[in-house]
Structure 1
Amino acid sequence: MTATPAHTALWPAPHARGAVDATVHVPGSKSVTNRALVLASLASEPGWLRRPLRSRDTLLMAGALRALGVGIEETVSSNSSPAGAGTPTGPGEAWRVIPSTLHGPATVDVGNAGTVMRFLPPVATLADGPVRFDGDPRAYERPLHGVIDALRALGARIDDEGRGALPLTVHGGGGLDGGPVEIDASSSSQFVSALLLSAPRFNQGVEVRHTGSSLPSMPHIRMTVDMLRAVGAQVDTPESGGEPNVWRVTPGALLGRDLTIEPDLSNAQPFLAAALVTAGTVVIPDWPERTTQPGDRLREIFTEMGGSCELTERGLEFTGSGAVHGIDVDLGEVGELTPGIAAVAALADSPSTLRGVAHLRLHETDRLAALTKEINELGGDVTETADGLHIRPRRLHGGIFHTYDDHRMATAGAILGLAVDGVQIENVATTAKTLPDFPQLWAGMLGN
């Protein structure tokens, strides 16, 4: 008998029989882990990353940096040792990153990871030799022109046969002059972050000027800036008194750091949604008091939709009230939260309008079209707008929820399955992109 391929297998989404009451330890942030890997690889001394996320996207990033000559050693420690003793303190996994002279020839598999395909071409300009970038078929469709055009303007040689997308080869010359550059980053804030992360190693640093329309996912740019400053980079931003839409990074050495990765707050979304939908309580330990992660906005959004939350010594305690309300909200800065919010909105007691997320058509899949189709095929009433979704709650029924190899589509389907019996999710394994062992975490939350 032939096994069913993972990408076509159907996962029966567990149906909640009552209010959830659980503590869920969410793995580390993908966005922080991959930025930290890049910065540690460009530092002038070794550094530690503690509690890093081990998922497809982060393992692709680590593998790519290793291919360029960086040493990344994985350590599992169950002991406690004095700081500076050469091993991590306390239990858990840590990665020791040992910078080295970057070199080609090398081949980088980006999978379908936006951070890998966008953050590493600037790093590759610092390598000595050619670096080829390739990835999943969907990665060929995702915009990369902002990074390619900017690097060419800064003096890099890149072969992409005019596609402005993968596959491509960066011909590294061991360095890059850098300097001022204009880009249109309206399709992805990662274009800006990509240039800023490598800029301290450019001879003149960089001055990035965004010339397009509104810039999505600004919290991710603020995350990049905060992490650069934490390793010793000098960064001028619009928030620090600089020009609007202009970021300047001064050239200089980066420090090796000992960094503990925060939990991925966006990946906490389905578990918080479970508390909201079932009128239960979920605790997420180690929720930071201050963070640049977009997922922190869930506290505000899900409270408006009917829950309540409190930061305590246990972590973030979130409780559903028994009612789920519709919402009219601009998600332009936190677009990655849209699938989970759309799922909750489909179960609400009043309509919702999600705005400011036209750029989601260029994510892992066209998320606006996918959410509309899949929720409507379960009996919903969702319409696409120019920049988002309008959702009118209706009684839903079971059926197959397709994921399009998109991890956030899979978790959105799981949220719907809590309240709708008979939902079957195609390829729940795609959640491994950023949230390993999601089915086990989900079952554990429900006490299954």
Structure 2
Amino acid sequence: MNIESMLLRVEPARALTGCAVTPSSKPETQRAILAATLARGHSVLENDLRCVETQTMKHACRALGAVIEEKDGYLDIHGVGRDFRLGHRVIDALGSGLVFRTFAALTCFAPSPAVITGDAILRGRVMKPLFDALHRLGARIDCIGDAGKAPIVNWGGGFQGGRCVLPGNVSSQFITAIMFAAPLAAQPSEIVIEGEILSKSYIRQTIATLTQAGIGVEASDDLSLIRVYPGEYRPATYRVSGDYTSSSYLIGAAAIFPGVTVLENMSAQSLQGEYAIIDVVRTLGIEVNFDEAHKRLTLVNRLPGLAGDFEFDASDYPNIVPTLAAIGAYVKGRFRVVGGSITRLHKSPRIKAMVSELGKLGVDIKGLFKDGVYDGFEINGHGADPAGGVELSSWGDHRIFMSLFVASLRCRHANLLDGYRDVTCSFPDFFTQFESLGVHCREVGPGQELDDSDSEPCLLQA
């Protein structure tokens, strides 16, 4: 049987309790790998995340000449500084927008032309604002396929610095890409960010990484103007914290079941915008306790059910918008999320996807629009658990899959989900951690009946 046609049967859970380990931050790991590669000398990354997208970043950095060794619990990286050797003329970003965008900028300083490409989903994503900004700085980039999209050839030759303009409501990764390349320019680079600025936390994470690496960065309080100075990246030791986007699936599940859930590798000290999941569940009435010394989070849910009228602005934490939809499916009352317009440009149109799939479960959900695009959603819950017993689509997006997995846990009947192997993009042991909380699921073939048989569950290793 073709493995791509297999589905995952997610069984309803009777309770949720126990201890799980949150994966380390993907954005922090990727940024630290980049900064260590661009430093001449030896850097260490402690508590790094190992998944498809961080592996993709390592492959790309090795293509520049970095030596990256995976040790038990840390990475040893010997960076190349400005001495790019570009052993591979083609850099494949697969599905990672951050890898594609940062290397579109960094290869401006490569000694020979480079082709940067990605998978079918990435080749459909918006890239033109980044290319326009790089051209403004003096880069020489041509699109090989569709105009304004991947793949590209970067002809090298560097850029001098100067002033460029980027929109603030399309992707913070455009800003991050130019910030990482700008220290290699001869003159300071100014990035003017126009309009509403979304996902500010990711920009702040980039500023923090560059600062730790010894790069001079100045930013206005509202981040509408960022100035990056020429400089040499210096080696450093980076400590990666737990990932709040990944933790949101575990925290979201804890919010919809009474009980006590303990999550390891969690710190209350974080620049991640998705830390807002903590504020969300507190608002819903969940007790949240951090043990900073042991990097442990304890969630206590004493509620018979979630109830009330809630509204959240997710403009600085868009990656957990699908998770919020999964939680909202179990709130008796009105649950409203706005500020998620940027998610239409992610791996899937995420709000549209969640509205569609939760609708299949019988959830009373509708999309909310701003300037003609999906900006959020509103759920009007009546206190009854969704029926379930349907087949759900991940829309080719690992975050949609993981959110629908959570949404399926309290359905009255099991659901079938596709795309379950994509959890390797950011949360490789997703199923192991949910198994430790008492959740069961198993692979099934296409067309299998959605009955309520008591067959033995088979947990997966993604």
| TM-score (ref. length: structure 2) | 0.88
User: What is the rounded CA distance, in whole Å, between the counterparts of 2:229 and 2:380 in structure 1?
Assistant: 50
Do the aligned partners of residues 328 and 447 (structure 1) sit closer, same or farther apart at CA in structure 2, a change above 3 Å counting? closer
SS at match of 1:446: coil
Which of 53, 59, 79 is the aligned partner of 1:98? 79
Pair 1:412 & 2:403 matched: yes
Do the aligned partners of residues 321 and 163 (structure 1) sit closer, same or farther apart at CA in structure 2, a change above 3 Å counting? farther
Q: Which amino acid aligns with 2:6?
A: A
Gaps of 5+ in 2: 370-374, 441-462
Answer whether contact 1:189 1:220 (CA < 8 A) is retained: yes
SS at match of 1:48: strand
Q: Which amino acid aligns with 1:233?
A: I
Which of 162, 170, 185 is the aligned partner of 2:168? 185
Q: Name 1:37's counterpart in structure 2.
A: 33
Q: How far did 1:447 drift? A: 6.6
After superposition, the C-alpha distances for 1:155-214 in whole angstroms (9 at most, x for unaligned) are 1100115611111111122x3211211122321111111111222222113110012x21
Q: How far did 1:286 drift? A: 3.3
Q: Name 1:444's counterpart in structure 2.
A: 436
Q: State the superposition RMSD in angstroms.
A: 1.7
Gaps of 5+ in 1: 77-91
Q: Name 2:422's counterpart in structure 1.
A: 430
Answer whether contact 1:16 1:278 (CA < 8 A) is retained: no
User: What is the rounded CA distance, in whole Å, between the counterparts of 2:223 and 2:13 in structure 1?
Assistant: 48
- 4+ runs of 1 displaced by more than 4 Å? none
Q: Name 2:357's counterpart in structure 1.
A: 374
Which of 367, 373, 376 is the aligned partner of 1:388? 376
Which of 318, 336, 353 is the aligned partner of 2:299? 318
Q: How far did 1:293 drift? A: 0.9
Q: How far did 1:414 drift? A: 1.4
**1:1-40 counterparts in 2 under 5 A?**
3-6=1-4, 8-18=5-15, 20-40=16-36
SS at match of 2:343: helix
Answer whether contact 2:126 2:345 (CA < 8 A) is retained: yes
SS at match of 2:13: coil
User: What is the rounded CA distance, in whole Å, between the counterparts of 1:270 and 1:344 in structure 2?
Assistant: 9
Answer whether contact 2:65 2:79 (CA < 8 A) is retained: no
Q: How far did 1:318 drift? A: 1.4
User: What is the rounded CA distance, in whole Å, between the counterparts of 1:353 and 1:121 in structure 2?
Assistant: 37
User: What is the rounded CA distance, in whole Å, between the counterparts of 1:165 and 1:352 in structure 2?
Assistant: 36
User: What is the rounded CA distance, in whole Å, between the counterparts of 2:42 and 2:332 in structure 1?
Assistant: 53
Q: Name 1:64's counterpart in structure 2.
A: 60
Which of 283, 286, 295 is the aligned partner of 2:274? 295
Q: Which amino acid aligns with 1:407?
A: H
Which of 189, 201, 204 is the aligned partner of 1:219? 201
Q: How far did 1:292 drift? A: 0.7
After superposition, the C-alpha distances for 1:79-125 in whole angstroms (9 at most, x for unaligned) are xxxxxxxxxxxxx2424243262134511111121111211111111
**1:36-435 counterparts in 2 under 5 A?**
36-76=32-72, 92-99=73-80, 101-104=83-86, 106-160=89-143, 163-173=147-157, 175-211=158-194, 213-239=195-221, 245-312=224-291, 313-314=293-294, 315-322=296-303, 323-325=305-307, 326-386=309-369, 387-393=375-381, 395=384, 396-398=386-388, 399-420=390-411, 421-435=413-427
Q: How far did 1:350 drift? A: 0.9
SS at match of 1:349: strand
User: What is the rounded CA distance, in whole Å, between the counterparts of 1:114 and 1:97 in structure 2?
Assistant: 24
Q: Which amino acid aligns with 2:3?
A: P
SS at match of 1:195: helix
User: What is the rounded CA distance, in whole Å, between the counterparts of 1:48 and 1:42 in structure 2?
Assistant: 13
Q: How far did 1:370 drift? A: 0.6
User: What is the rounded CA distance, in whole Å, between the counterparts of 2:353 and 2:379 in structure 1?
Assistant: 14
